[in-house]
Structure 1
Amino acid sequence: MPETSRSIRAWGRETFGDPETLAPLVERARLELDELAAAVAAGEPDAAVKLEAADVAILLHRIVGILGGELSDAVDAKMAINRARRWNVSGDGTGSHIPGD
Structure 2
Amino acid sequence: MTNVKNSTSVSESQQSICDWAEKIFGPVADPRALVTRAMTEMKELDEAVVDRDLSEIGREAADVIILLYRLVDQFGLDLDHEVQAKMAINRARQWSAKGDGTGSHI
Q: TM-score, normalised by structure 2?
A: 0.85
> What is the identity, as a one-letter code, of the residue corresponding to 1:42?
D
Identity among equivalent positions (%) equals: 47
Contact 1:4 1:70 in 2 (8 A): no
The structural deviation recorded for 1:70 is 2.0
Is the counterpart of residue 69 in structure 1 residue 77 in structure 2? Answer: yes
Q: Does 1:96 align with 2:104?
A: yes
Deviating more after overlay: 63-72 vs 5-14: 63-72
Q: In the TM superposition, what whole-angstrom CA distance separates every residue of 1:4-32 from its partner, at most 9, and x where no partner exists?
A: 11111111111111222210000000000
1:19 corresponds to 2:33: no
- The count of aligned residue pairs is 97
The letter of the residue matching 2:45 is L
Residue 4 of structure 1 corresponds to 13
Is 1:59 aligned to residue 64 of structure 2?
A: no
TM-score calculated relative to the size of structure 1: 0.89
Question: Aligned partners of 1:59 and 1:16: how far apart in 2?
Answer: 12
Which structure 2 segments of 5+ residues have no match? Answer: 1-9
1:69, CA displacement in angstroms? 2.6
**Is the CA contact 1:88–1:97 (under 8 Å) kept in the aligned structure 2?**
yes
RMSD: 1.1
Q: Give 1:38's aligned residue.
A: 47
Report the Cα distance in structure 2 between the residues aligned to 1:32 and 1:2, rounded to whole angstroms. Answer: 23
- 8 Å Cα contact 1:5/1:64 also seen in 2: no
CA distance in 1 between partners of 2:69 and 2:12 (Å): 9
Q: Which has the higher contact order (CA 8 A, sep 6+)?
A: 1
Distance in structure 2 (CA, Å) of the matches to 1:13 and 1:88: 41
